[in-house]
Chain A
Amino acid sequence: MPVEYELDIPQSLDEALNALASDNGSSVTPLAGGTNLIIDIRSRRERPARVVGLDYVSELRAIDCTSERVTIGSRTTVTDLLDSAEIAKAAPSLVDAARVFAGHMVRNAATVGGNIACGSPAADLVPPLMSLDAEVTLSSKSGSRTVALADYFTGYKQDVRNADELITQVAWDRLPEHSVNTFRKLGRRKGDAITVTGVALTVVVEDGVCQRARIALGSVGPTVFRARQAEALLEGKVLSNELFDAAARKAASESSPIDDVRASAEYRLHTIETLTRRLLTQAWARLA
């Protein structure tokens, strides 16, 4: 038997939020690109009674870059990110991730909001956004609230979103001039592969001192997370190779990967350390 559900097709954000609030939000699911959700419904991992399709909520598909802040509507696709010259300038890590995101047709459909909402530790847009200190706006009929992406996930595929809430945008303050923002994904092959390990890095340096370090790790824990102890080793310091070694080891020690079909936990720990050190070394070379 196919899995059946009701399908609402709202034409505006207000209509979408009303639809999500029906039945007090129980068993209602927003649908964006469908590249995860349609599969999860078909395999009965998700069993919504009602699906709210967001294709025509056009106000959610927008990229807005000012000199101060970057705002991306949740319905923006991965291809939209690749096509944006402004994103290429403001968020290089996000472009690094978008380039190696699944395959061509999936990039055309999959969205920024959907990638966050699916809650997978292997979601490739999440480490870059976390390394940028992105904030997620959740909206419902009763109002909006903003949550740091770093605080958004509470466990494997668990998050702080209430059933009647919709991720409407992500936004962050632009990085200062002397900064590097980068992402590296390790997969079994270059395209169409689920991430084995992913590392996103932001380093801000002023007068030779690291003012801000962000290291966000993918596929080495129940959620994407920030390696805060590794970051703390770097911040306020004059950067050096010794410091990179220590931070890379610390990032690995903060990870809790599992064995699965793609790689062993041991391999993931090894590659997290290697990738973290490599990204830090490369960032330092570019800032010097």
Chain B
Amino acid sequence: MSSPKKITLRINGVNETLEAPAHRTLLEALRDLGHVEVKCGCEKGDCGACAVSIDGVAVDSCLTLAWMVEGREITTVSGLGDIENPHPLQKSFSDLGAIQCGYCTPGMIMASKSVIDRNPNPTDDDIRVGLSGNLCRCTGYTKIFEAVQDAASVMRGEGDKQ
């Protein structure tokens, strides 16, 4: 059986070290390190609650092995901004009521960021397709789609449309 090894993960710009066996997922590693903003949902790649970005690409951290991402740039939702300096997506989600229980929100925001990074001017359909791997059981999605459009217009420098 595999023995644990010491690995260093670069999370939100900071190197953090932990002891992990080969089967340790990035989701487990992040939460073990205290990054509990990354949520554990289905652990099957269906719900998107655990989404983080690796070198700018959004992935499900439950399907990613921690050993495989040593030395890569890992960004969680906390790496985008905080309450003093929120990312436009964080602000729009909060302002427009796109958050209810909040469990899906970290993954939803990471997926939304990936949608906007790939296409700064997404159609509603682009957003729906882009968020098809994120489940929300509260909002009915409408406010989430509105928040993503709002944040996209802020990020394009057009100001918010509230």
Contacts and interface: CB of A to CB of B under 8 A. Distances in A.
Interface of A: 2-7, 9, 31, 33-35, 38-39, 41-42, 51, 53, 55, 79, 99, 102-109, 190-192
29 contacts: A3-B23, A4-B2, A5-B22, A5-B23, A6-B1, A9-B67, A31-B65, A34-B64, A34-B65, A39-B44, A39-B63, A51-B22, A53-B65, A103-B46, A103-B132, A104-B48, A104-B58, A104-B132, A105-B45, A105-B59, A107-B133, A108-B58, A108-B114, A109-B59, A190-B128, A190-B129, A191-B128, A192-B132, A192-B133
A105 B58 contact: yes
Contact of A53 (B43, B58, B68, B128): B68
A55 B132 contact: no
A263 B44 CA distance: 21
A103 to B, nearest CB: 2
B51 interface: yes
B62 to A, nearest CB: 8
A38 B22 contact: no
Given A5-B23, A39-B45, A104 B131 contact: yes
Residue with the greatest number of chain A CB neighbours at <10 A, chosen from B43, B129, B133: B133
Contacts of B114: 104-105, 108
A90 to B, nearest CB: 22
B22 A4 contact: yes
B130 interface: yes
Nearest to B58: A105
A104 B127 CA distance: 10
Contacts, number: 101
A79 B129 CA distance: 13
Main secondary structure of the interface of A (DSSP, over half): mixed
A86 to B, nearest CB: 18
Contacts of A41: 23
A33 B23 contact: no
Nearest to A190: B132
A9 B68 contact: yes
B133 A191 contact: yes
A9 B1 CA distance: 16
B131 A55 contact: no
B134 A103 contact: yes
A37 to B, nearest CB: 9
Residue with the greatest number of chain A CB neighbours at <10 A, chosen from B45, B59, B129, B134: B45
B129 A191 contact: yes
Interface in B46-71: 46, 48, 51, 57-60, 62-65, 67-68
Given A55-B68, A103-B48, 19 more contacts: A2-B21, A2-B23, A4-B23, A5-B22, A7-B65, A9-B67, A31-B65, A35-B63, A39-B45, A99-B129, A104-B58, A104-B114, A104-B131, A106-B133, A108-B57, A109-B59, A191-B128, A191-B132, A191-B133
Contacts of B58: 104-105, 108
Contacts of A31: 65
B89 interface: no
Nearest to A49: B1
B12 interface: no
Contact of B111 (A7, A34, A105, A109): A105
B133 A104 contact: yes
Contacts of A102: 45, 132-133
A123 B103 CA distance: 30
A104 B111 contact: yes
A33 B2 contact: no
B115 interface: yes
Contacts of A4: 1-2, 21-23
B25 interface: yes
Given A109-B64, A191-B133, A192-B133, A7 B128 contact: no
Given A53-B68, A103-B46, A105-B111, A38 B2 contact: no
A246 to B, nearest CB: 36
Contacts of A191: 128-129, 132-133
Contacts of B2: 4-7
Residue with the greatest number of chain B CB neighbours at <10 A, chosen from A38, A39, A53, A99: A38
